Structure 1
Amino acid sequence: MASSVLLRLRRHVPSARLPAFLRPVSTSDDADEQPTPKKPKTRADFPTFLLDSFCLRQFDDQKTFSGTKIDYDPKAFQDKINAYYESGEYDLVDGYAPFCKHLFVPNFINARIPTIPITPKSAHLLQTGYLARVPEELPVLTRWFPSHSVTPETAKWLDIVLYSREQIRLENEAMGKSVLDESDAPWRIISVKAQVVAHELPMEPMTILRNALGKDVGGSGVALDQDKYLASVEYWAKHAHIKHST
């Protein structure tokens, strides 16, 4: 009699509401029917670095861009930079502000150095003009060597300049640009600089001034540091970019 009552209870009362001693014991077959847990997402799903749209001009604008030109598939380049970092052999280096970092990796793209020293023999070749890096920015006075008049050297290192995801979002909002993508990647590659040394070189004086002017004119909003500005002037008084003639 007792066994039949227990059987009825098990048939009509949900297991969760039965006392523990009345609940059916699961078997190995029941365990096999449990849903397979989802595979945890890896760093391949969430890369550390993504190419920012600002950097894409280095891939696309081979004729007029005066910085490092990259003849490489953008997605493959992004994957390569992530692989270098994930190898553990290359560390992030602090930049000019908390939201800026650098990653120095070997020049695997065979890029040429986009600047050369100004010498008495080459100074007469310099050209000047008002240029903007992107359409949203104001043109500023710039000088450069025409590419047909000089021969650039092949670099040893690439300086991968990184901005935090949040900084890019703030700058885009200030300039009325589209909202940042929804990727969880914490860093955006904003610039790639081919150079001989594995450390940061001074940014151009006008870049420092633009940053100080604010986000709505294409800067980062970082206040001008007089010592860094004077160091920039000293370096760029002796160097100039190489630019294709338009």
Structure 2
Amino acid sequence: MSIVLTEFARPRLFPREPRRNTIQDITPEAFVEHLNRVPPLRVLDGYAPFCKLHVHRNWTSTRCLVVPITEENRHLLRSGYEARSKAELPVLVRWFEGVEPPVANYLIAILYSAEQLAKEGSPIDGDWGVVGCMYTAEPEEIPMAPITMMRNALGVEEGGSGVPIDREAYARSVAFWERHANWRG
């Protein structure tokens, strides 16, 4: 099985201007080499048959992706409209500024099959493509954000995957994201 880094994920995980809330201490090439060389601790099923999650122990100084919202840090939440790429419509997002999350224990690579990526107009030269990565304290998936579920349900024309919303998964996502937020450094 060969894994490659997609053009969608590259600027999000390894931006030109380094950010503290992205993958640290490693090049994109070394990251992919590690995923291909070191077997994952676990392989989790993703939200659709074409999605797999490879759980690896964190070998970098990358910090956890999300922070619990508390009364002590709620005043540090910010929000704004943003798009993940120039082709997508902006959506409302929120994040923390001024927090210091712990170093993540796990990096969970989000992989899409080559067939799905071709369907979405992003063919790859490999079996699986990295479309994202979660940085977590536990070897478990962080629920997909509700807006990502909605975008997926809109279809590939709007930057999604074409997978309909699962109402139970959506409710779990809302419950999680009401109590957590991403952060920016």
Name the TM-score, length of structure 1 as normaliser: 0.70
1:95-143 Cα distance to aligned partner (Å, 9 max, x none)? 1100000110010122101221111111111111001111111100011
On the 8 A contact 2:61/2:103 being kept in 1, the answer is yes
1:218-240 Cα distance to aligned partner (Å, 9 max, x none)? 11110000000000000000011
Q: In structure 2, how many angstroms separate the alpha carbons of the residues matched to 1:153 and 1:216?
A: 37
Among 76, 80, 90, the alignment partner of 1:139 is 90
Q: Secondary structure of the equivalent of 2:81? A: strand
1:55-85 Cα distance to aligned partner (Å, 9 max, x none)? 11111255579x6334411111111111112
Aligned counterpart, 2:75: 124
Larger proportion of helix: 1
Q: In structure 1, how many angstroms separate the alpha carbons of the residues matched to 2:24 and 2:160?
A: 24
* 1:230 and 2:185 correspond: no
Matched to 2:26, the amino acid is Y
Aligned counterpart, 2:137: 196
Aligned counterpart, 1:77: 31
On the 8 A contact 2:14/2:22 being kept in 1, the answer is no
Matched to 1:193, the amino acid is M
Aligned counterpart, 1:214: 155
Matched to 2:33, the amino acid is D
Among 13, 25, 48, the alignment partner of 1:97 is 48
Percent identity between matched residues is 38
On the 8 A contact 1:68/1:192 being kept in 2, the answer is no
**Which structure is larger by alpha-carbon Rg, 1 or 2?**
1
On the 8 A contact 2:155/2:163 being kept in 1, the answer is yes
1:175-197 Cα distance to aligned partner (Å, 9 max, x none)? xxxx624x2x2100111111011
Among 85, 98, 109, the alignment partner of 1:160 is 109
Aligned counterpart, 2:4: 50
Larger proportion of strand: 2
Which structure has the higher relative contact order (CA within 8 Å, separation 6+)? 2
Unaligned stretches of 5+ in structure 1?
Answer: 1-46, 173-178
On the 8 A contact 2:68/2:179 being kept in 1, the answer is yes
Distance 1:115 1:90, change over 3 A: closer
Q: Secondary structure of the equivalent of 1:78? A: helix
* 1:240 and 2:157 correspond: no
Aligned counterpart, 1:43: none
Q: In structure 1, how many angstroms separate the alpha carbons of the residues matched to 2:119 and 2:174?
A: 28
RMSD: 1.8
Name the TM-score, length of structure 2 as normaliser: 0.92
Unaligned stretches of 5+ in structure 2?
Answer: none
